[in-house]
Amino acid sequence: MKKRLLFDEINKQINHKNAIVIIGSRQVGKTTLMKQIFDEIESQSKLWFDFDNPLDQKIFEDIEYKNIYERLLKMVNNKERLFIFIDEIQNYPEITKVIKYFIDHYGVKFIVTGSSSFYLKNLFPESLSGRKFLYQLSPLSFREYLYFRDKMTRDDAMISDIGNIIKNYDYLLSKKLESDYEEYLKFGGFPEVVLTSDNETKKQILKNIFTSFFEKDIQIIADYKDIRELRDLILLLVPRVGSLIDVTRISSELGVSRVKVYSYLEFLEKTFMIRLMPKFSKGIDRSVAGGKKIYFSDTGILNAIGYVNDSQLFENAVVNQLAFFGELSFYNKKNKAEIDVILNKKTSFEIKMSGIEKDYEKLNQLSQSLGIKDFYIISKKNINKSGFISASLF
């Protein structure tokens, strides 16, 4: 199994005192990534626990933390620094107190995974701030997809500056990658899906991923017992991909309060099912005000849940691709003038199935009015013209 690009970044912090926390949706590759880190550590003082297994949880169930530490030392039979790997920590919230104590008193290194940043926000104690490095593992970007399919080198896939990618734009290469991009649009970037050749099997894996979301993630959060409401909300969101969320209308259609809709949306975002894009603002506070646009975190899951048109699917994929390069927002002026995506408040993009010169001129005017100097049309159709780039190259 190839190593995810995030492996190199995490591995740099392996000897730092802070705990390493890897979050992301189920089956995105967190456990595989953590096993690769486990194998990389030469020390024999390393232990692996899976908190889906209640017997592994029981090892840490002791009000006297010193007893837990001594128990762990006996398991490795030496007194070197302990490296503790824990998969799916959200299954045993009390472990966070143990982590804090072990870091402060014994210098234990923790590498853990969790399937919900909603859980981390609500259950991690404040005292762990400054004691953890938090990494989010997402489905494969298109460049990482190409690396996993042996069509791009690891070094090329790791380029994190989109400016360099645009500067070195290769029209002929983008044409060559069109069929790969079509598959990426249809099936998304979950590693097991990407590495599976049979299309029907891909579809079954995606269904299983969606099923596991309902069987495991929702059950952990006691406040969200009404699974039908959450399911119906997800189905209502599918045709709204790329649109502003009207919470009042959704509330009416679901027959639940606006407050509950907001809480459901937060839960879906924090469990990595959806992505909410805020409005652009040069300030800080205004970016959180007003409506947000809705996208799904993986186009394969989106296609497995329901139907969207080609334009919506393409826009969703591009938004997910751009998210690997920084903070995203959109611009909307009285519902008349719009910029699809603004990256890091510095570069604007308009997403078109087949961009034309008029689109570029409009984007130019809007970008200049906002003080944004760099702007591009991202087109699905390959266009060999300045200011136009193909989504199949980033």
How are strands ordered across the β-sheet holding 83-87?
46-50, 83-87, 109-114, 19-23, 132-136
CB proximity list for 303: less than 8 A, separation 6 or greater: 186, 187, 188, 206, 313
DSSP string, 113-148: EES-HHHHHHHS-GGGTTSEEEEEPPSPPHHHHHHH
- Exposure string of 278-317, with b = 16+ CB inside 10 Å and e = fewer, is bbbbeeeeebeeebbbbbbbbbbbbbbbeebeeebbbbbb
Contact (CB, 8 A) for 274 and 292: no
Closest to 108 measured CA to CA, from 79, 83, 138? 83
Identify the pLDDT of residue 220.
57
Q: Which residues pair with 277 in a beta bridge?
A: 293
pLDDT in tens, the chain (394 residues): 899 999 999 999 999 999 999 999 989 999 999 999 999 999 999 999 999 999 999 999 999 999 999 999 999 988 889 999 999 988 888 898 899 999 999 999 999 998 866 665 555 555 567 788 989 999 999 999 999 999 999 999 999 999 999 988 888 888 999 999 999 999 999 999 999 999 999 999 999 999 988 777 776 554 555 788 899 999 999 999 999 999 999 999 999 999 999 989 998 998 899 999 999 987 654 444 448 999 999 999 999 999 999 999 999 999 999 999 999 999 988 767 899 999 999 999 999 999 899 999 999 999 999 999 999 999 998 888 999 999 998 8
DSSP string, 174-189: HHHTHHHHHHHHHH-S
d(CA 381, CA 87): 42
d(CA 144, CA 150): 10
The token pair that represents 206 in the structure block: 């995606």
d(CA 143, CA 40): 25
CB proximity list for 314: less than 8 A, separation 6 or greater: 185, 351, 353, 380, 391
CB-side neighbour CA atoms (13 Å) of 370: 26
Closest to 51 measured CA to CA, from 4, 96, 106? 96
Taking the C-alpha atoms of 152, 157, 161 and 165 in order, what is their torsion angle to the nearest 10 degrees?
A: 10
d(CA 37, CA 112): 11
8-state DSSP, 28: S
Contact (CB, 8 A) for 149 and 381: no
Q: Give the amino acid at 148.
A: F
d(CA 391, CA 141): 11
For tokens 């805020």, the residue is 278
Identify the pLDDT of residue 77.
84
Based on C-alpha coordinates, what's the Rg of the chain? 22
CB atoms within 10 A of CB 228: 8
Domains of the chain: 6-136 (3.40.50.300), 146-393 (no CATH)
Q: Give the amino acid at 182.
A: E
